[in-house]
Amino acid sequence: MISLPKEKVLDLSRYTLFLLFCLLIIVGCTRTNENAEKKQPFSIEVSVVQLKQERIEITTELPARVSPYLIAEVRPQVSGIIQKRLFTEGSDVKAGDVLYQIDPAPYKASYDNARAALAKAEANLPAIRQKAERLRELVAVKAVSQQEYDDISAALSQTEADIKYWRAAVENAHINLGYTEVKAPISGRIGKSNVTVGALATAFQPMPFATIQQLDPIYVDATQSSANLLKLKKNIAAGKIKGGSNNQTKVRLILEDGTPYSLEGTLKFSDVTVEPSTGSYILRMVFPNPNFTLLPGMYVRTVISEGIADKAILVPQQSVMRDYKGNPYVFIVNSEGKVDHRMINVERTVKDKWLVTSGLKEGDTVIVEGLQKVRPGIAVKTVKHETKNGEASPSEANKPRAKTN
């Protein structure tokens, strides 16, 4: 055996004790970390909502354009020099109001000439008629020849025809004289004038004098996808949506700046033809417009009621995530207090929520906040999710409305 000096034996013992001490510290720290890891999942706190079936109104939000209820382009029906303009641009006019005065002098002369010719023809008629009656009696007793009677009968017919002709000429001249006053064909608001006093007007010219538009009520035309229509009919047939409500005809409007229009409109009709290039058809609505807030050409968004869903499942939008394929999913808390992964199908937005068609049911507890800290299988502590205004979720608002984007 090799004997070591006492000093070296002592140093070796101390070194061994030091190593053992370090090993105990390491083991203790490892166990502490393991305990911490075991306890950590129980300390994760998440905000959750418990799902309930709700009754919601299904609506569709569609882009639309405003168009006038009536529109008429003012054009002259006779030619001549414009003498007067009798309206203020941008003002309201009534049907029959005189807007322009075309020089009536040549048309007045034509009217007077036709009246004079008519009077001449009518003046000749009594004498010819009396002569024809006398000759008819004489020809019966052979006092005059048949030729004389035929000649006077032809002259009578000619005079009667002349009277009819000149009566028509008088009427035509009177109409043309009336057309020298260019009148408003409809009531509404007139735009700018495209001609000035002194300009030459040509009958039925391509360029209108002005345009009149009726703005109260007013049309709003929206385009709807034919695929959405088929989907709606399918949901109604499956019982997911109750159609046929009287409220379906009511339409709401959102203006360009995002503010809602104060008055409700009515769905007038839907087109019977689908545009082949876009796969959409036209929906026309009528809105009251007493303050002329809506102007032709304005862009708006319409909110059209489609029906009622009695058993809808809604989840907050922030609770829905998507995988690398874009499929939506949520994390739920099961009956054991642990996190589960659940794939779902969503159809449309309902304010700040998604309308879920499959994957969730009433009573499921969905995690809304704390999603970055959870993974399937870990236990969590749950607290009720609070909305910004302090109201508890899930969707306890009265009758939320679903919409398609």
User: If residue 55 lies in a helix (H) or strand (E), which one and from where to where?
Assistant: strand 53-74
- Does the structure show a pLDDT above 70 at 116? yes
In this prediction, residue 71 carries a pLDDT of: 94
Q: Where are the alpha helices (DSSP H) in 301-397?
A: none
Q: Which residues lie across from 383 on neighbouring strands?
A: 47
- Does the structure show a pLDDT above 80 at 334? yes
Q: Tell me, which fold does domain 49-67+214-402 have in CATH? A: Elongation Factor Tu (Ef-tu); domain 3 (2.40.30)
Domain 76-103+180-207 has CATH 2.40.50.100: yes
CA angle 143, 148, 153 (to 5 degrees): 115
In this prediction, residue 31 carries a pLDDT of: 56
In Å, what is the CA distance from 131 to each residue of 43, 80, 152, 153?
127, 46, 7, 9
Maximum CA pair distance of the chain?
189
Least confident of 15-19, 171-175, 269-273, 361-365: 15-19
Quote the mean pLDDT of the chain. 81
395 pLDDT tier (thresholds 50, 70, 90): very low
Alpha-carbon span 152 to 157, nearest angstrom: 9
In this prediction, residue 5 carries a pLDDT of: 56
When pLDDT is averaged across residues 146-153 and rounded to a whole number, the result is: 81
* pLDDT digit string, tens, across residues 367-377: 888 888 888 88
Best-predicted range by mean pLDDT (20-34, 121-135, 170-184, 386-400): 170-184
* Cβ atoms of residues 335 and 382 within 8 Å: no
Domains 49-67+214-402 and 76-103+180-207 alike in fold: no
Instruction: With CA atoms as reference, report the closest residue to 76 among 210, 179, 217.
Output: 179
* Cβ atoms of residues 217 and 62 within 8 Å: no
Alpha-carbon span 114 to 121, nearest angstrom: 11
In this prediction, residue 238 carries a pLDDT of: 56
405 pLDDT tier (thresholds 50, 70, 90): very low
Q: Which residue has the higher pLDDT, 21 or 52?
A: 52
* pLDDT digit string, tens, across residues 259-313: 999 998 888 877 767 777 777 778 888 999 999 999 999 999 988 777 777 788 8
In the chain, what are the domain boundaries? Answer: 49-67+214-402, 76-103+180-207, 106-168
In this prediction, residue 194 carries a pLDDT of: 93
Number of neighbouring beta carbons within 10 Å of residue 303: 19
In this prediction, residue 364 carries a pLDDT of: 86
CA angle 30, 42, 371 (to 5 degrees): 110
Q: DSSP secondary structure string, 373-387?
A: G--TT-B-EEEE-B-
Secondary-structure breakdown of the chain: helix, strand, coil percentages, each rounded to the nearest 5: 30, 35, 30
* pLDDT digit string, tens, across residues 51-104: 888 888 777 788 899 999 999 999 999 999 999 999 999 999 999 999 999 999
Total count of residues recorded for the chain: 405
* pLDDT digit string, tens, across residues 199-251: 999 999 999 999 999 998 999 998 887 766 666 566 556 555 455 544 446 78
* Cβ atoms of residues 136 and 151 within 8 Å: no
When pLDDT is averaged across residues 370-388 and rounded to a whole number, the result is: 82
For residue 87, the SS3 value is: coil
CA angle 311, 316, 322 (to 5 degrees): 105
As a CATH number, domain 106-168 is 1.10.287.470
CA angle 363, 369, 372 (to 5 degrees): 120
Instruction: With CA atoms as reference, report the closest residue to 376 among 343, 341, 336.
Output: 341
In this prediction, residue 115 carries a pLDDT of: 93
